[in-house]
Amino acid sequence: MNTRSGESQPSVSIENPPSPSIPPAASSVPEGLLDIPPVQTEAAFVPTIMTGSTPEEMTSIVKKGQPLAASTYKQDMMINFEDLPDLYTFGGPVFPGAPLALPGLEDVMDDGSVPRDLLDIGTDLNFDAFMYRTDYLYPTHQLIPRRKQYLPNDEATVNPSGITTPGLREKVNIMASIQAFKESPWIWTPQSDNHGAAEQRNLFLPSDSVLSPSNPSYDLPLLRQETSNLTRGKILTEVLSTCESTIHAHVISNFPSTELLTNLIHNFVASHLQQDIMWIHLASIEINKEIPLFVMSMVAAGAVVSPLPDVRKLGFAMQEAIREAHSHEFERDNRRTRDLRTLQSFLLALDIGLWSGDQRKMEISESFAMPLLTMVRRAGHYRFQRSAELCPQDADDGPTLESKWRTWITHESFKRLALYVFYRDTRSSMSLLAPPLVSYAEVATSLPCHRSMWLAKTAKEWKQAYLSQVGDGTIQPPSIRSCMDDSTPIFEHQRIVDVETSLLLVNAAVWPLIWQFREMKSVSKFRTSSRDLRHGSSTMNSRFHEVTQLLDHIQLSSSEWLGQMEPAVWLLQEQCLMHLYASLEDVQVLAGREGEEEARRIFPTLTAWVDSTEARQALVHAGQVIRAARMYQRPLLRDAAVAVYHASLVFWVYSVLSRPHATSDPSGGQGPTAATVIPPTPPNASVLVRLDGESTIQVQRFVSFGKGIPCLGKQLDTTAAAAQGNNSNSNGNIDLVPRDVLLKDTAEIMAVITKLLRTPYENEEGSCPPLVENLSKLIEALGKAAVRRKPQDGGRPASSSYGQNHNS
C-alpha cells in the first residue's frame, strides 16, 4: 500500500498491532484465493491471520487444514505469533524496527560463520505455490521476502511437521572432505614458487632412467625413423631459449639422447592411435623435417604417458617450455597462427596441461584455449569448404597422386583439428564445469572422412581406400549441424565418414544445450514473480525435452545401424544425461570444494533433491557411465577418468543424503497409535537394483517409484574372498565370487570406483598418471569422509539382481 510523501505513519508495536484496512473493492481480492488448504513447507512460517476468535481456536482450525474464507476477514484482525517456534525460520521481524523477540538472535546475525544464505533473505526463492499470497494484507514497506531457512548449528532441527532434518556434520566429515579438495586438481591457490622456471630442473633425465621403446600395433613409416643429432640440437635450442642461464650447462650435459627422443615419439604414436579422435596424420610426419616445436610437442606428449615418474617429469617440464616458446613464435611471425604444425603443437601442449592433474597447469591450459580457438575460427576452418578437386582419379599416379594426397592430408588435418578443438572444448567444459566456448551452430565443417582413408600410409593406399569407399563420384559428407536433429545421415554415409568420431562430435554438440538448461535451472530459484516462474519453467521444460529427444534419437539410430555404440560414445552420452539430471557443481560444493559455509548453504537443496525422480535417474546414468568405463579396451585417461569421478560424486551424494529405511517403531516402543500407523511394506522394496547392469523392470521401478535398493557390482579380491569363506578351486586358488555393493556403503562404493581407475596400473608401482592418481585419492577421501550409518536392519537383502545379470 503506497504512502504519500510527507504524511507521518502511525507507530506500530507488536503488543497492539493496528487493524489493517481492507480495500473496499471486493474485486481487488481474487475470488477463491484464500479458499485453499494451507501450504506446508519445511521451516517456513506465515503469520496466522485471525478474526475475532481467540488465538487457540484459530490455531486449531489452521492445524486441521480448514480453509479460511475471504468473508471471514474483518476489520478487527489480529496477528498471532504464538505459532512461530523461533524467528530464524521466519527470516526476521515482521515489522521493521520492532525489537527482536528471541534472545541471542543479534549474535547469530552478526556471526560470520553463519552460512551465506541463511540470513540473506530473498536469494534462493522457490515458490511452488506462488498463488498463496497475502501481500495485499500488509503495507508494502512491511513486506520481507522469505524462503526456506535452516539453523546454522549441526544438531538435528525439528520442523513443525515433526520430521527431523539432520545437520550437515551428521552426514559428512566436512573438514576431511575440504582438505581432500584442497589436495585435488580442482583447487589451486597460487604461491610465490609457482612459476614456469620451477620445472626447469626436470629438463634432463637421471643416468639410470631407462625407457623401453613402445611397439604400436599399427605399422607406420614414422616408426622406422630416427631422430637426428641436428633435430636434437634444434629441440635443445628451443628449450634453452626458455630456461634461465644458470642451468644451461646442466641441461646441455644431461639432455635426453636421440634414441630416447625417438622412443618418446613412438610412445606418442601409440597413445594417439588409442585416442577417441585422431586429429594428427601420423603417416605424413617426417621427424627430421618438421618444425622443432612440433617435434618437441610429440616428445612431451610421449613422455607424460610413460610409466616412469622421471620421464613424466621431463614431459611436463618440456610442455612448460613449449607453451612459453609458442607465445614468442606467434609474436615473431603472425603467419604462424595459420600454420598447421604450429597449431597442432600448440594444441598438444594445451592437452598435456589440461589433463596433467597439476592444478597450475590445468588452469593455465584452460585459459589458453581461447586464443587457439580464435586462431582456428578466424582462419575459417569452421566454415563449409568443398573438396571435390581433391578426389583421386583412376589415371592418377606418381607426382600427381602424391600431390593430391598431400593436399588432401592438409585439408583433412585442418578439418580434424577444428573439430577436435570443438570436441575438446566440450570435454573441458564437462570436466571443469565451465561454460563451453563453441556452439555447434557455427560448425559448418563436414564430418571427418572414413578412417581407412585417414590411416592410409601411402598415396596409393589412400587412392585405393578413397575409390573403394567413395567411388568416382564426389559425395559431400554431412556436417554436425545437419545431423543434430537427425543423426541418420551419419549412418547413411558410413562408407565415407568416420562413424565413431562423428557420433562423438554429435553427442558433444548436445552439451551446450545441457549447459544452458543447467544455467536456467540454477537461475530459476532466484525468480520471485509468478510470471517469471511460469516463463522459466516453460523454457526449461522445452530445453529438457529437446535434449532428451536428441540423445534418444542418437541412441536408437546407433542401435538400429550398428547394434551397439562404441564404449567411448556410450560413456559420453551417459555422462551428458547424468549432467542433465544432476548438478555436479552443487554436489562438489556439498562435498567441501568451496568450504563449509557453502556446503551448509547447498545442503537443504540437495537433501530435497535426493528424494526426487531426477536423483534416481541421475543415479542410473552414473551407473551406466561405470558400465561403459569397464568396457574400455584401454586405460581410463583424461576426460574418461573425470567422467568416472563425476559418476562417483552422484553415488556419494545419494549415499550420504538419502534417508535409510527405518524399521524401528516410530512411536518409541509404545505400539502403533492412531497418529502413527505403520504402512505396510511395499512389494519389491528389498530387491537389489544393479545400477551398472542392464536396464530391467527393477531399474525402471526404482527410477519411477523409488522401490528397491541400489547397488553396484564388484569382484572380490582374494583377501576379501578368503575373509568371507569362499571356496578354493582344484588348483588351490581362491575363487573370485562377484557380489553386490550397496550404495549406502559409501566408503565401499568409492573403493569400487577407485579400483576401476587404478587397476590398469597395479602391476607397476608409480605408473599411475597424476590425474588418475589424484582423482582416485579424492574419491577415496570422500568415501572416508562420509559418516558411517548405524545399521537399520542388521543384514543384507536376501535377493539380488546381480546373480542373474552379472554376465550382462
User: Is residue 617 included in any domain, yes or no?
Assistant: yes
pLDDT of residue 536: 60
Q: For 551, left (φ over 0), alpha (ψ -120 to 50), or beta?
A: alpha
Give the residue from 275, 256, 400, 388 showing the smallest Cα distance to 314.
256
Q: What radius of gyration, in Å, describes the C-alpha atoms of the chain? A: 32
Q: Supply 352's cell numbers.
A: 598435456
Greater pLDDT, 802 or 411? 411
Q: Look up residue 449 and give its DSSP letter.
A: B
Between 515 and 389, the higher pLDDT residue: 515
Distance (Å) of CA 266 to CA 303, 376, 806: 10, 28, 39
Q: Cα–chain-centroid distance for residue 314?
A: 31
Contacts 24+ apart (CB under 8 A), 566-569: 566/500, 566/503, 567/628, 567/629, 567/631, 567/632, 567/633, 568/276, 568/500, 568/504, 568/632, 568/640, 569/500, 569/503, 569/504, 569/507
Are residues 653 and 753 both part of a single domain? yes
Comparing 692 with 126, the larger pLDDT belongs to 692
Q: Say if strands 48-50 and 738-742 run parallel, antiparallel, or are unpaired.
A: unpaired
Residue 660 region by backbone torsions, left for phi larger than 0, else alpha for psi between -120 and 50, else beta:
beta
pLDDT at site 185: 66
How is residue 124 written as a grid cell? 534462493
Domain that holds residue 2: 1-97+113-165
End-to-end CA distance of the chain: 67
Cell digits for 378? 578466424
796 Rama class: left (phi>0) / alpha (psi -120 to 50) / beta: beta
Q: Do residues 407 and 486 touch, judged by C-beta distance below 8 A?
A: no
The pLDDT value given to residue 401: 93
HEC assignment per residue over 267-303? HHHHHHHCCCCCCCCHHHCCHHHCCHHHHHHHHHHHH
CB 678 within 8 A of CB 672: yes
With 60 as the cut, is the pLDDT of residue 481 above it?
yes
Is it the case that residue 230 has pLDDT exceeding 90?
yes
179 and 142 fall within a common domain: no
* Lowest-confidence segment of 92-101, 193-202, 604-613 by average pLDDT: 92-101
Contacts of 608 (CB under 8 A, 6+ apart): none
Percent of the chain residues topping a pLDDT of 70: 64
Average pLDDT of the residues in 80-96: 41
Rounded to whole angstroms, the Cα distance separating 601 from 118 reads 7
- Split at pLDDT 50, 70, 90, the class of 534 is low
In a shared domain, residues 292 and 208: yes
The whole-number pLDDT of residue 200 equals 72
Stronger pLDDT, 473 or 433, i.e. the higher one: 433
Does pLDDT of 511 surpass 90? yes
- Whether 786 and 753 map to the same domain: the answer is yes
Helix (H) or strand (E) holding 584: helix 584-590
In the structure, what pLDDT confidence band is assigned to residue 539 with cuts at 50, 70 and 90? Answer: confident
Task: Let me know if residue 599 belongs to a domain.
Answer: yes
Cα separation, 513 vs 532, whole angstroms: 21
Say what the pLDDT of residue 476 is: 82
**Per-residue model confidence (pLDDT) at position 538:** 81
Same domain, yes or no, for 337 and 319? yes
Both 157 and 250 in a single domain? no
Q: What is the 3-state secondary structure (H, E, C) of 601-662?
A: HHHHHHHHHCCCHHHHHHHHHHHHHHHHHHCCCCCCCHHHHHHHHHHHHHHHHHHHHCCCCC
Q: What is the pLDDT of residue 105?
A: 40
Return the top range by mean pLDDT from 9-23, 200-214, 330-344: 330-344
Confidence of residue 209 (pLDDT cuts 50, 70, 90): low
Distance between CA 491 and CA 474 in Å, rounded?
18
| Ranges 97-101, 446-450, 732-736: which has the least confidence | 97-101
How many other C-beta atoms can be found within 10 angstroms of the C-beta atom of residue 335?
Answer: 9
Task: Count Cβ neighbours within 10 Å for each residue of 119-146 and write b for 16 or more, e otherwise.
Answer: beeeebbbbeebeeeeeebbeeeeeeeb
Question: Mean of the pLDDT values across residues 771-782?
Answer: 92
Write down the pLDDT at residue 320: 93
The answer, yes or no, to whether residue 26 has pLDDT greater than 50, is no
Give CA–CA dist 702/405, Å, rounded.
55
Q: By three-state DSSP, how is residue 210 classified? A: coil
Residue 590 lies in a domain: yes
pLDDT tier at 738, thresholds 50, 70, 90: low
Same domain, 179 and 226: no
My answer on whether 5 and 54 are in the same domain is yes
Query: Residue range 472-493: average pLDDT?
Result: 87
Q: Is residue 370 packed enough to be buried (19+ CB in 10 Å), middle (13-18) or exposed (0-12)? A: exposed
- Sequence-ordered list of residues with C-beta below 8 angstroms from that of 679, at least 6 positions apart, any chain: none
Query: Is residue 450, in this structure, part of any structural domain at all?
Result: no
pLDDT at 664 over 80: no
- Among 356, 381, 400, the domain-final residue is 356
More confident residue, 378 or 170: 378
d(CA 569, CA 577): 13
CB 487 within 8 Å of CB 553:
yes
**pLDDT computed for residue 328 by the predictor:** 92
- Amino acid 762: pLDDT: 81
Q: Quick check: is 322 in a domain? A: yes
Q: Are strands 688-690 and 164-165 parallel, antiparallel or unpaired?
A: unpaired
| Same domain? 204 vs 81 | no
Question: Which of 368, 460, 466, 351 shows the shortest CA–CA distance to 412?
Answer: 466
Maximal CA-CA distance, the chain:
104
Query: Among the three residues 305, 339, 356, which one is the final residue of a domain in this structure?
Result: 356
Residues 623 and 771 in one domain: yes
Residue that has been written with the C-alpha cell 563425476 in this structure: 646
Q: What is the mean pLDDT of the chain?
A: 75
Q: Is residue 189's pLDDT more than 90?
A: no
pLDDT of residue 409 exceeding 50: yes
**pLDDT-derived band at 56, boundaries 50, 70, 90:** low
Lowest-confidence pick of 139-143, 528-532, 570-574: 139-143
Whether the pLDDT of residue 53 is over 60: the answer is no
Q: Where are the alpha helices (DSSP H) in 433-529?
A: 451-454, 459-469, 480-483, 488-492, 499-524
Cα–Cα distance for residue pair 579/519, rounded to 1 Å: 12
**C-beta neighbour count of 570 within 10 angstroms:** 21
* Domains: count for the chain: 3
Question: What are the backbone dihedrals phi and psi of residue 730, each rounded to the nearest 5 degrees, phi first?
Answer: -65, -25
Contact call for residues 483 and 490 (beta carbons, < 8 A)? yes
pLDDT in tens, 621-647: 999 999 999 988 777 778 899 999 999
| Mean pLDDT (whole number) for 176-189 | 70
pLDDT exceeds 90 at position 578:
yes
The pLDDT of 39-59, averaged and rounded, is 45
Return the pLDDT at 579: 97
Task: Please name every residue paired with 740 in a beta bridge, in sequence order, or none if there are none.
Answer: 713
Question: For residues 596 and 175, is the Cβ–Cβ distance under 8 A?
Answer: yes
Nearest to 256 by CA among 198, 323, 325, 313: 313
Q: Are residues 159 and 24 in the same domain?
A: yes
Angle, CA 391 vertex, CA 385 and CA 394 arms, to 5°: 175
pLDDT in tens, 688-734: 899 998 888 999 999 999 899 999 986 555 444 444 444 444 444 44
pLDDT of amino acid 229 = 96
Query: From CA 540, how far away is CA 407, in angstroms rounded?
Result: 46
Q: How far apart are CA 432 and CA 424, in angstroms?
A: 12
pLDDT of residue 669: 43
Calculate mean pLDDT across residues 424-433: 95
Assess if residue 616 is contained within a domain: yes
Asked if residue 688 lies in contact with residue 797, where contact means CB atoms within 8 angstroms, the answer is yes
How far CA 208 is from CA of 203, 254, 308, in Å, comes to 15, 12, 12
Residue 298 lies in a domain: yes
Higher pLDDT, 594 or 374: 374
The confidence score (pLDDT) of residue 457 equals 93
Q: What average pLDDT does range 414-432 have in this prediction?
A: 96
Instruction: From 317, 334, 356, give the residue that closes a domain.
Output: 356
Indicate the DSSP class of residue 528.
Answer: -
Q: What is the pLDDT of residue 498?
A: 94
Residue 798 has pLDDT above 70, yes or no: no
The set of residues, in sequence order, having a beta carbon less than 8 Å from that of 104 and lying 6+ positions away, is none
Low-confidence winner among 5-14, 255-264, 370-379 (lowest mean pLDDT)? 5-14
Beta strand 48-50 with 164-165: parallel, antiparallel or unpaired? unpaired
Same domain assignment for residues 624 and 705:
yes
The residue with greater pLDDT, 593 or 753, is 753
pLDDT digits (tens, 9 = 90+) for 57-83: 544 544 444 544 444 444 444 444 444
- Is 705 within a domain? yes
